[in-house]
């Protein structure tokens, strides 16, 4: 029979936790009880009882004490803090450099982090955001403004999708609209959205007042945002009030009030009006066939429906609805795609797109640079800590002798660096508060720094500090804790710490980054300058442009022009469909009606005096004249040189030739090529038509003196003829808008470049200060032996100079590669030349030279007596 014994596992457990000195008596007692129980009760009950008794010994008095728990950790921590704070205070220069550098790096990082977070928050506030999609299309070959993607779709698409695509829950047609809203003789110029009845089923906005289901049910309804309702009606209830909009002869009734679109809405509006306000839309949807592309289509995907399934249906829809009578000689093949709302925010390069766009390339570039700057600051810390570690070698030796374990030393040093990072973070938070408003202005985004807005912000910052502290403290901690006490304590002289090569490497790395950043800034600046100063082919200075909001004014142009001309400050006036900086309309022409080859050509309609207003040069033929009947009846064209070449003629040959565009048109003039698009795109073929009616802008050439008076006159004339508010832009500002993203990039890069140079030179200064102080005796001896100040300076600066040179050699190909690929985006660009590299290298060299030079001159001028006396 098996020997009866207490449960083995219970016994093991007991021995695991029980104090050794109690083992004998306790096991004795428990065993005695066990055998009594076996006799009186059952074996099972006895065993169960044994387990019970074992668990009842889990009491503090009986537990085995951990070894370390007996040490006094608290005193040790106190000592760590004391030593750390003494070190910080004793070496104020190094501590200052460390904390300042880290604070700068952290500031950059936080600013960019907030910016990136803002960018990725766009349009995520709808309850059904992840199911909102839009349709856009590719018209293969129909290249326009550098791309053949278009954000616009036919008016009927939304309805057809709801009826024929099971994947679609709701779909809506949307257009941007702006105009004068009138209520009781008060007028408000507002920008809004025109949409069909499904709009609020796709974009589920919570209504302050009114019912989203029925708000746009009626073709004469309008929904206002809170702010607009407040401005117009104050405390009155706006529901049911009547508005007039644009020149529609019927009232629109307010059916709902919605909150203002939040700051991270990609398209903003102050009202939503039913699309039926537009007679064009009302006419369009009567047809079955698709013959227009003017509307944005958004839809809500059904839950569990797949986007590819839907996209597969588009080809069939196109075949069904692009009727042969409309599309017989249409040369392109359309292809439709669905894209989620959040993705479409980052989709650049789609023509006529709706709302603000984020550029992922730019976001990633910023994030990468911010990370690199933070890394630079960490590298600074590492470098200085390794350098300083020489001073602390004895501390490490002594700690080890009195029994410090390696893990404790590592923990001590890591703890110190985390503490410094924490200081830096507090400084950085202050700096971020200061810098963020300026940064937000540069990137034109309402980025906000609110520590309490998001419950993750504070923990995330603490994790960041921990990571920065651990990263920058890791190498010094491990290098120092590996010192052998006997080496450190035995000799009187300072020990060399291994890792000098790492230090050199890190310094070179810092300078590589700095040189690349300086170089990038130089290139960006030069390219911006190049675009600003390039011969444009037209004169953008002193041209006032007025976007015609009041359409009635177009018919009054001649009256306006003659009244304007009475002012001595006004030289020429004209009307145009777009401004020469941004001609964004194109069409197709043929040489003759029977010709198969079509030429894609940009089109621009202008008033008679356009050559004088815009300063465009005529190469051959003549310009339009109001006296010539065939000009006024739009039978004649002017083209640019590129168009003449594309048609196979020289400028003079082209005069009198005919092309076919809705009937034969005669070419009467050729203008010199001018930059009609941004510098990203090459100059394209252009045809210029005459108009005295279809303009969207007035353009007025004024004298550069007494501009305010001239503007006053322009305004007075307009005010007399229209109730619309007066707004104007200078053509040169409109031109600069084309490059706003590049200007932003330039400013942000400038900011980063300066920060990185400051950080790198701080680090260099600290390191140089340290090495020169290490070499005080050497310098003293050299001077005693007859070295001149210059010789000593050369000796001290040499090694740093070599490192900057090495960094320069590495930085050249990196910088060339990065900036060359950036420049590829411009059709007209500067050449990268050697002097740009030289400038960047020289700047880095100068910055390094100033900080090292100062220290080495000071060191070499010191009296050798002071440094040598002590021995």
Q: Which residues bind other proteins (CB under 8 A)?
A: 24-33, 35, 52-53, 55-59, 61-62
Residue among 49 and 580 whose Cβ is closer to other proteins: 49
Which CB, 2 or 25, lies closer to other proteins? 25
Nearer to other proteins, 21 or 325 (CB): 21
In angstroms, give the least distance from the CB of 18 to other proteins. 10
Which string of DSSP letters, residue by residue, matches 244-257?
EETT-SS-EEEEEE
We find the least distance from the C-beta atom of residue 54 to other proteins, in angstroms, to be: 8
Nearer to other proteins, 33 or 532 (CB): 33
Name the residue nearer to other proteins (CB basis): 6 or 695.
Answer: 6
Provide the CB-side half-sphere exposure for 784 (13 A, CA). 12
* Least distance in angstroms from the C-beta of 71 to other proteins: 23
The angle that helices 92-119 and 457-481 make with each other, rounded to 10 degrees, is 140
Reading phi first (left if > 0) and then psi (alpha if -120 to 50, else beta), residue 634 is in left
- DSSP string covering 548-582: ---THHHHTHHHHHHHHHTSTTEEEEEEESS-TT-
Tokens of 479: 């290098």
37/742 with CB nearer other proteins: 37
**Which DSSP symbol is given to 302?**
P
Looking at beta carbons only, is 14 or 273 nearer to other proteins?
Answer: 14
Residues 6+ apart with CB under 8 A from 707: 569
What is the closest distance, in whole angstroms, from the C-beta atom of residue 41 to other proteins in the complex? 13
Enter the DSSP assignment of 261. Answer: P
Q: At closest approach, how far in Å is the CB of 20 from other proteins? A: 14
Under 8 Å between Cβ of 170 and 198: yes
Nearer to other proteins by Cβ, of 55 and 433: the residue is: 55
What's the chain's Rg over C-alpha atoms?
Answer: 38
Nearer to other proteins, 28 or 434 (CB): 28
CB of 25 to other proteins, least distance (A): 4
Smallest gap from residue 767 Cβ to other proteins (A): 57
Of the pair 39, 67, the CB lying nearest other proteins is at 39
- 424 conformational bin, left if phi > 0, alpha if psi -120 to 50, beta if neither: alpha
Closer to other proteins by Cβ: residue 53 or 481: 53
b vs e for 568-595, b when ≥16 Cβ sit within 10 Å of the residue's Cβ? ebbbbbbbbbbbbbebeebeebebeeee
| Chain-centre distance for alpha carbon 823 | 19
Query: Residue 65 CB, nearest distance to other proteins (Å)?
Result: 14
Closest by Cα among 224, 223, 219 to 278 = 219
Q: How far is the CB of 303 from other proteins (least distance, A)?
A: 58
Cβ-proximal residues to 439 (8 Å cutoff; 6+ apart), any chain: 111, 115, 447, 748, 751
Residue whose CB is less far from other proteins, 47 or 540: 47
Cross-strand bridge partners of residue 690: 606
CB of 34 to other proteins, least distance (A): 10
Give the nearest distance from C-beta 60 to other proteins in angstroms.
8
764 CA to centre of own chain:
31
Question: 47-78 burial string, b = 16+ CB within 10 Å, else e?
Answer: bebbeebbeebeeeeeeeeeeeeeeeeeeeee
- Residue 8 CB, shortest distance to other proteins, in Å, is 14
Closest to other proteins by CB, 52 or 835? 52
DSSP H helices, 785-863, are 789-823, 834-861
Among 132, 148, 128, smallest CA distance to 140 is for 148
Between 44 and 61, CB nearer to other proteins: 61
Residues 6+ apart with CB under 8 A from 213: 200, 201
CB-wise, 63 or 306, nearer to other proteins?
63
Q: Is the dihedral of CA 32, 34, 37, 43 positive or negative?
A: negative
Give 662-711 as a DSSP string.
SSEEEEEEEEPP---S-TTS----EEEEE-SS--SEEEEEE-SSSHHHHH
* Residues in CB range of 593: below 8 A, 6 or more apart: 660, 664
The minimum distance between CB 48 and other proteins, in angstroms, equals 13
Query: CB of residue 46 vs other proteins: minimum separation in angstroms?
Result: 14
Q: Please give the distance of CA 385 from its chain centroid, rounded to a whole number.
A: 35
Please state, in angstroms and rounded to a whole number, the distance separating the CA atoms of residues 93 and 89.
9
For 405-417, b/e burial (b = at least 16 CB within 10 A) is eeebbbbbbbbbb
Least gap, CB of 68 to other proteins (angstroms): 24
Strands 271-274 and 186-195: parallel
Least distance to other proteins, CB of residue 35, Å: 6
SS3 percent helix, strand, coil of the chain, rounded to 5, is 55, 15, 30
Q: Which is nearer to other proteins, 56 or 799 (CB)?
A: 56
């Amino acid at each position: 029979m098996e020997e009866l014994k207490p449960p083995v596992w219970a016994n093991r457990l007991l021995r695991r936790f029980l104090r050794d000195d109690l083992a004998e008596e306790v096991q004795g007692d428990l065993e005695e009880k066990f055998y009594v129980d076996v006799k009186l009760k059952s074996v099972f009950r006895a065993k169960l009882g044994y387990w019970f008794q074992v668990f009842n010994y889990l009491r503090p008095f009986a537990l085995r004490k951990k070894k370390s728990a007996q040490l006094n950790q608290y005193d040790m921590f106190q000592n760590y803090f004391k030593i750390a704070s003494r070190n910080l205070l004793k070496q104020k220069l190094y501590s200052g450099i460390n904390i300042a550098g880290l604070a700068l790096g952290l500031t950059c990082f936080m600013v960019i982090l907030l910016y990136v977070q803002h960018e990725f928050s766009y349009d995520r506030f709808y309850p059904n955001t992840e199911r909102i999609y839009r349709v856009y299309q590719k018209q293969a070959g129909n290249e326009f403004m550098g791309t053949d993607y278009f954000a616009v779709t036919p008016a009927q698409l939304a309805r057809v999708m709801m009826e024929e695509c099971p994947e679609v829950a709701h779909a809506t047609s949307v257009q941007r609209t702006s105009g004068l809203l009138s209520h009781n003789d008060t007028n408000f110029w507002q920008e809004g959205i025109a949409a069909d009845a499904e709009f609020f089923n796709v974009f589920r906005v919570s209504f302050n007042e009114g019912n989203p289901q029925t708000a746009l049910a009626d073709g004469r309804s309008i929904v206002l945002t809170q702010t607009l309702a407040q401005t117009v009606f104050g405390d009155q209830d706006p529901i049911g009030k009547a508005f007039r909009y644009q020149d529609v002869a019927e009232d629109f009734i307010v059916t709902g009030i919605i909150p203002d679109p939040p700051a991270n809405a990609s398209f903003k509006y102050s009202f939503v009006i039913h699309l039926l306000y537009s007679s064009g839309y009302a006419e369009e949807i009567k047809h079955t066939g698709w013959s227009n592309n003017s509307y944005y289509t958004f839809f809500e995907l059904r839950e569990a429906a797949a986007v590819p399934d839907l996209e597969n249906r588009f080809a069939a829809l196109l075949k069904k609805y692009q009727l042969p009578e409309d599309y017989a000689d249409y040369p392109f093949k359309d292809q439709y795609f669905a894209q989620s709302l959040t993705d479409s925010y980052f989709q650049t390069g789609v023509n006529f797109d709706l709302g603000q766009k984020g550029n992922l390339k730019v976001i990633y570039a910023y994030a990468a640079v911010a990370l690199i700057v933070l890394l630079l600051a960490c590298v600074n810390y590492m470098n200085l800590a390794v350098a300083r570690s020489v001073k602390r070698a004895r501390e490490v030796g002594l700690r080890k002798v009195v029994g410090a374990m390696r893990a404790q030393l590592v923990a001590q040093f890591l703890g110190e660096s985390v503490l410094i990072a924490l200081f830096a973070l507090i400084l950085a938070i202050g700096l971020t508060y200061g810098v963020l408003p300026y940064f937000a202005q540069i990137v034109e985004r309402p980025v906000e720094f609110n520590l309490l807005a998001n419950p993750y912000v504070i923990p995330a910052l603490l994790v960041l500090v921990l990571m920065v502290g651990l990263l920058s403290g890791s190498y010094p901690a491990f290098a120092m804790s590996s010192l052998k006490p006997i080496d450190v304590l035995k000799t009187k002289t300072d020990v060399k710490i291994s890792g000098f090569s790492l230090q050199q490497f890190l310094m070179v790395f810092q300078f590589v980054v700095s040189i690349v950043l300086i170089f990038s800034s130089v290139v960006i600046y030069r390219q911006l300058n190049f675009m600003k100063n390039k011969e444009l082919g037209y004169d953008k200075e002193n041209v006032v442009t007025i976007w015609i909001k009041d359409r009635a004014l177009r018919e009054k142009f001649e009256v306006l022009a003659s009244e304007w001309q009475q002012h001595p400050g006004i030289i020429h006036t004209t009307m145009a469909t777009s401004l020469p900086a941004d001609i964004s309309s194109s069409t197709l022409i043929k040489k003759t009606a029977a010709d198969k080859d079509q030429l894609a050509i940009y089109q621009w309609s202008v008033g008679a005096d356009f050559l004088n207003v815009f300063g465009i040069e005529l190469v051959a033929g003549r310009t339009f004249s109001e006296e010539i009947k065939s000009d006024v009846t739009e039978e004649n064209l002017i083209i640019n040189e590129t168009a003449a070449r594309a048609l196979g003629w020289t400028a003079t040959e082209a005069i009198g030739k005919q092309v076919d565009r809705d009937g034969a048109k005669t070419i009467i003039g050729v203008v010199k090529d001018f930059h009609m698009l941004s510098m990203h795109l090459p100059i394209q073929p252009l045809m210029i038509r005459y108009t005295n009616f279809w303009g969207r802008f007035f353009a007025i050439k004024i004298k550069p003196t007494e501009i305010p008076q001239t503007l006053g006159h322009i305004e007075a004339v307009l005010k007399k003829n229209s109730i619309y508010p007066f707004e104007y832009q200078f053509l040169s500002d409109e031109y600069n808008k084309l490059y706003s993203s590049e200007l932003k990039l330039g400013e942000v890069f400038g900011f980063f470049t300066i920060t990185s140079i400051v950080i790198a030179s701080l680090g260099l200064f600290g390191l140089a200060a340290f090495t020169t102080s290490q070499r005080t005796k050497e310098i003293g001896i050299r001077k005693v032996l007859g070295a001149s100040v210059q010789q000593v300076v050369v000796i001290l600066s040499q090694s740093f100079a070599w490192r900057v040179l090495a960094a320069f050699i590495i930085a050249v190909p990196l910088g060339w590669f990065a900036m060359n690929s950036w420049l590829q985006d411009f059709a007209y660009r500067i050449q990268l030349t050697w002097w740009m590299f030289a400038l960047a290298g020289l700047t880095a060299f100068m910055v390094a030279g100033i900080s090292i030079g100062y220290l080495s001159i000071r060191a070499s001028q010191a009296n050798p007596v002071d440094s040598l006396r002590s021995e």
